[in-house]
Structure 1
Amino acid sequence: MVTPVLDAVAVTAKDIERAMAFYTVLGFDFEGGFLSDDHVEPVRRPGEPRLMIDSAALMEKLTGEAPRAPNHSAFALLCDTPAEVDGMAKAVEEAGFSVLVQPWDAFWGQRYATVSDPDGYRVDLFAPL
């Protein structure tokens, strides 16, 4: 049996420009990525899955129901250092977005924080202690 490969993580956005601003704070680069009115993807670095952001209107048209953000983390970003977790959480907050869980030293040996994009999708930030 062939093992599938994780190729993409998808979220939806009521305001794609605002979503792009949030993910730019987290280090995603949209310059040179795929950009349209209903679907955007930042530049994909070698070996990483794609981040796909679809408009909420497009997803509602395709699925017949309005998208809802999950009530748990949808994906996590590995940072190089605990200080990078702290810095990214601070940058998210300073840019006017939500930090749901401030950085803390988790008992499993990681610096951990949870931020939320404008539509409520949660993104964990973590680094080994």
Structure 2
Amino acid sequence: MTSRSLRFHFIGLVVADMAASLAFYRALGLDIPAEADAAPHVEVTLPGGPLLVLDTVATVRSFDPNWTTPSGDSRAGLAFACADPAEVDRVYGELVAAGYEGHMAPWDAFWGQRYAVLHDPDGNGVDLLAPLPGAAQ
């Protein structure tokens, strides 16, 4: 196999309502300027360097006119690490109270993490996780 200089660069999401999607990701702690709400394309630098890229349906259709909204369950998911199990519970509770869809309430997963799943405004799975005390990581 030939040597390549590839590096992971971004996670892309197609969103129906940019402002609603950005509000959700702001609620998770991402620093996104308010003026981005009206943009058709937004890039947010995540800790460690990769980007979270959000494009409106119209933007995607401008270069892929045959693009259609996927049906069925989400095939992509994002995960946010929390400092501890209590933060998983707190963040999940805050976002559900703010009106976002909780998919799976926090639970102690058999693999040693406190885990919860939310849906962003477009139905993408967004996981919250933290190691359980005493769990091997």
Q: RMSD between aligned alpha carbons?
A: 2.2
Residue 80 of structure 1 aligns to a residue whose secondary structure is coil
Which consecutive residues of structure 1, in runs of 5 or more, have no partner in the other structure?
none
Shift of 1:74: 1.7
Residue 19 of structure 1 is matched in structure 2 by: 21
Cα distance change of structure 1 residues 46 and 28 upon mapping to structure 2, 3 Å threshold: closer
Distance 2:37 2:81 in 1: 25
Aligned pairs (5 A) from 1:60-79: 60-63=61-64, 64-68=66-70, 71-79=74-82
* CA deviation string 1:45-104 (max 9, x = no partner): 551421111001211332222232752452211111111111111121011110100010
Match of 1:9 in 2: 11
Between the two proteins, the alignment pairs up a number of residues equal to: 128
Q: Which residue of 2 is the match for residue 125 of structure 1? A: 128
Q: Distance in 2 between matches of 1:75 and 1:87?
A: 18
Gaps of 5+ in 2: 133-137
Quote how far apart the aligned CAs of 1:11 are: 0.7
Structure 1 residue 82 corresponds to structure 2 residue 85: yes
Q: TM-score, normalised by structure 2?
A: 0.81
CA distance, structure 2, for counterparts of residue 41 and residue 32 of structure 1: 13
Which amino acid in the other structure matches residue 105 of structure 1?
D
1:4-63 deviation line (CA, Å, top 9, x unaligned): 322211111111000011111111111289676211123x25514211110012113322
Measured in 2, the distance between the counterparts of 1:86 and 1:56 equals: 32
